[in-house]
Amino acid sequence: MRQAEVVLDWADIRARGERGEGISDDEARAILALSAPEQLEALWATAQAVRHEHKGNFVNTCGISNAKSGRCAEACSFCSQSAHYTTDAPKYQMKDAGTLVAEAKEAWNSGVREFSLVASGRAMTNRKELDIVKEAVATIRAETGMQTCASLGLMSKDGLAELQSAGLQSVHHNLETARSFHANIVQTHSYDDEVDTIKAAKSLGMYTCSGGIFGMGESWEQRVELAMELRELDVDSVPLNFLNPRPGTPLENQHTLTAEDCLKIIALYRLVLPTKDLIVCGGRAINLRERQTEIFRAGANGVMMGNYLTTAGRPADMDLDMLEAEGLVIRPPPHKPHPPSLRPAVRVEGTDSNGVA
């Protein structure tokens, strides 16, 4: 990691973050170089203050259905659902709408307030499958108070508009990693393919959710690069996943993250993206272990609850107890697009962040 050359002014970073202004590339790299306990305390305190300014005591609770699993023609090195690898991931066709609605209602009863239908595959182009998603979305909207979300691979504006007219509010599509590392991880589609799906959702005014997976061999600089890319794209919510290496995938032996790394990544993203939702998703338990409760102090304002796509999560009661112990409450939908997290203003030497000499 390149050594930081900037002095971190925590009061200034906090004041800017509270105004919605994110940190610079140099500040982000300086943060990733921190290791002394007192420096990390300053980082957690600043990230928590910025989170509280924009999110109060509210947290988002997300849940998913793995609506269609396995047999994917794409090759993403972290994913056990790719047909290119021999794994024990379940393989099944699209569930019917009634099953998806029943799963959503069960999640609602366990405290989940945003529910995503996730399907394996490069893109959802099959008319029958799309109609199932539309029917499930419309029923979930009509029969629960949930925010509806879908993660269906690469989607066109027309396809998303059709889902939106059925009641879909959020679109999830991860960039997965930094542009400069993407080809190391995804061999069958491009970074711009990922970006185009997000742009299509944004052009429709939908709440957009896009983030990545950490611990796949990317550098610290590439973690900063992804954060900056997401700020430019102005996504509303950023799911932060920490690799849980799956047997049979090319990354099955990739165990690189410490709990402290995960917390630093969360804090970094809070300070780059002060106004946005940061949701800690896959790999939470295995990477953070007993430090899971610290994710909010590090700046996160959401968690994925229940099971992940191909791995089990912990019981919902444990997460609800964690939120209560931290003095947090579940944010009720709808989740609307957030104001942008701004690039840092250009400063004149010798002036403070308000331009005062």
**Shortest reach from residue 300's CB to ligand SF4, in Å:** 23
Which among 225, 121, 125 is positioned nearest to 173, based on CA atoms?
121
Binds ligand SF4 (CB under 6 A): choice among 122, 157, 291, 343: 122
Considering the rule CB under 6 A, would residue 66 count as an interface residue with ligand SF4? no
Spatial CB neighbours of 240, under 8 Å, sequence gap ≥ 6:
211, 212, 214, 262, 265, 266, 269, 278, 279, 280, 281, 300
Task: Kindly calculate the radius of gyration of the chain based on its CA atoms and give it in whole angstroms.
Answer: 20
**Shortest reach from residue 222's CB to ligand SF4, in Å:** 18
Rounded CA-CA distance 330/63 in Å is: 13
Rounded CA-CA distance 282/315 in Å is: 14
**Would you list the DSSP string of 247-309?**
TTSTTTT-----HHHHHHHHHHHHHHSTTSEEEE-TTHHHHHGGGGGGGTTTT--EEE-S--S
Using CB under 6 A as the criterion, what x/- string covers residues 149-188 for binding ligand SF4? Answer: ----x-----------------------------------
**Shortest reach from residue 122's CB to ligand SF4, in Å:** 6
The answer to whether the beta carbons of residues 210 and 173 sit under 8 Å apart is yes
Stretch near ligand SF4 under the rule CB under 6 A, chosen from 74-82, 230-238, 254-262, 283-291: 74-82
Spatial CB neighbours of 39, under 8 Å, sequence gap ≥ 6:
8
φ, ψ (nearest 5 deg) of residue 238: -120, 105
Q: Give 72 or 238: the residue with its C-beta nearer to ligand SF4.
A: 72
Binding residues for ligand SF4, total number by CB under 6 A:
9
DSSP strand E in the chain: where? 58-68, 114-119, 147-151, 170-172, 207-209, 212-214, 237-242, 277-280, 302-304, 329-330
**Shortest reach from residue 119's CB to ligand SF4, in Å:** 8
**Shortest reach from residue 294's CB to ligand SF4, in Å:** 28
3-state secondary structure 112-141: CCEEEEEECCCCCCCHHHHHHHHHHHHHHH
Q: Give 78 or 115: the residue with its C-beta nearer to ligand SF4.
A: 78
Binds ligand SF4 (CB under 6 A): choice among 120, 241, 249, 292: 120
Q: Give 52 or 179: the residue with its C-beta nearer to ligand SF4.
A: 179
φ, ψ (nearest 5 deg) of residue 92: -155, 155
**Shortest reach from residue 153's CB to ligand SF4, in Å:** 6
**Shortest reach from residue 74's CB to ligand SF4, in Å:** 4
Contact positions with ligand SF4 (CB under 6 A) in 31-50:
none
Binds ligand SF4 (CB under 6 A): choice among 48, 60, 65, 81: 81
Q: Give 188 or 258: the residue with its C-beta nearer to ligand SF4.
A: 188
Binds ligand SF4 (CB under 6 A): choice among 47, 76, 166, 323: 76
**Shortest reach from residue 78's CB to ligand SF4, in Å:** 7
Q: Give 81 or 139: the residue with its C-beta nearer to ligand SF4.
A: 81
Sites of contact with ligand SF4 (CB under 6 A): 72, 74, 76, 79, 81-82, 120, 122, 153
